[in-house]
A and B are shown apart, each in its own frame.
Chain A
Amino acid sequence: MLIAANNNFLIPNGTFIVVLIAFILVLGFIGRSVVPYLNNLLTERQEQIRGELEAADRAKADAEEADAQRRAALEEARAHAREIVAQATLTAERTVTQAEGRAQEAADRIMQAADAEVAIARQAAVEEVTARVGEIVLAAAERVVGREIRAADHQDLIDEAIAAVRAETTSGAAAGAAGGRR
């Protein structure tokens, strides 16, 4: 062994004091600068994360509230729309009913007017025919008989013919009027 008794490596020497001071200096640095610094950082980060989580919660609540509001507004709008549609349907039905009524009235009026006109025209035609039928019959008879026939002599025949014509036109007009109304 090269080591002398007074240089035993288990016996501390002056190095002890120097390394003790070095260790205490390092301890001071860690204790004053590193540990509090890191703890501050960690606390700050916790605060930040807590703040962010709270903000997220708030945002979520806001979003939910906004969604609820939107749904409510939508529901209200739908109800309103339904109401409007119902009202419109009602109005339309009423209008249609009214229009139908008016149209019916107008049609009835027109039909009545037309019926009246037809009746008047028929009356006029019949009267004209009756006025002229005697003459025509006489003229025809004269040609057949070959001599003049006096109207007065045959008034009965003439009246009979006129009555026949009148009866025929009246029944025809009645049938025609029934067909037109149908």
Chain B
Amino acid sequence: MIGLGSHLLSAPLLASDISVGEHPQAKVLGLTVNVDIVWATIIAGLVVVALGMLLRSRATSGVPSKFQLLWELVVGAVQKQVDESIGPRGAKVVPLALTLFVFIFTCNLFVVLGIGSRFEFLPAPTSDINLPLAMALYVFVLTNAAAIRNRGVGGYVAHYLKQPFSPKLFPINLFMNGIEEIIKPLTLTLRLFGNLFAGGLMLSLLAALVIWRLGPVPVGGVLAIPLTIVWKLFDMAIGAIQAFIFALLTILYFDTAMAPEEAH
């Protein structure tokens, strides 16, 4: 769109003018830290904790309020999903899946506050690779630990070597199972990060649209506002779906890890 109309632009907009994945950074103990992401992650965490505290201060075993019902609805949905996938053994997965859903959903909602500037005051923490990767690797470590607890170290190793083909073809089995296992945290990370990152990028592009003028008519400026509103609504839906997918896949990975050997 921008390329097509470039000869009409009073001030040509170059792709390099749109910032991508830039963050204000600081050096802490020799490590580079994205200050805005840390800040936003802490805020999102505090929001979730505050919602939990609010629940504890208000909740009753009698007639529940709407707020309490919402919590019960989410927890009930997670428990149902875990029950149907893993069964009673999966009870320990419920807090993790619930936290993933609520925390990611809260983080994703921050896209609504974005204005498409180079640095956002409160960017969605999930639009930076670090948080999705941290959560995905955490899930990866826990699922493999659960698999070792389920099958024993020998069974765990055998699981990589003895199927899907005959044990004689163990190098191929190891390769296929290894790829499958490594793919899991990668896709978890990139799916969440990519969606949220693209959401922020879209906001930047929509903001850059303001430059587009036809003579004295600020076409881009008029279009940018409704498009941004529509995009943010869409992005909120994306945020909810991505939070749901992350939590659901976590449950399914635990299901695979905790399943009895003969089921595979």
Interface residues of A (CB under 8 A from B): 1-3, 9-20, 22-27, 29-31, 33-35, 37-39, 41-42, 44-45, 48
Interface positions of B from 126 to 140, Cβ below 8 Å from A: 128-131, 133-135, 137-138
Q: How far is the CA of A13 from the CA of B16 in the complex (A)?
A: 23
A152 CB, nearest partner CB in chain B, Å:
138
B255 to chain A, nearest CB (A): 19
Given known contacts A18-B33, A26-B49, A29-B52, A35 and B61 CB-to-CB distance under 8 angstroms: no
Cβ B61 vs Cβ A23 within 8 A: no
Docked Cα-Cα span, A23 to B136, in Å, equals 11
B21 contacts partner chain A, Cβ-Cβ < 8 Å:
yes
Main secondary structure on A side of the interface with B:
helix
Contact A26 B33 (CB under 8 A): no
A35-B32 in contact (CB<8A): no
Chain B residues touching A, majority SS: helix
Q: Are B98 and A23 in contact (CB under 8 A)?
A: no
Contacts of B102 in A (CB 8 A): 30
Interface pair B45/A22, CB less than 8 Å apart: yes
Q: Which of A14, A16, A33, A45 contacts B61 (CB 8 A)?
A: A45
Separation of A1 and B137 alpha carbons in the complex (Å): 30
CA distance A178 to B64 in the complex (A): 106
6 cross-chain CB contacts under 8 A: A17-B31, A19-B41, A33-B52, A38-B75, A44-B61, A48-B61
Q: A3-B20, A12-B130 are in contact. Are A26 and B34 (CB under 8 A)?
A: no
The answer to whether B103 touches A26, judged by C-beta atoms less than 8 angstroms apart, is yes
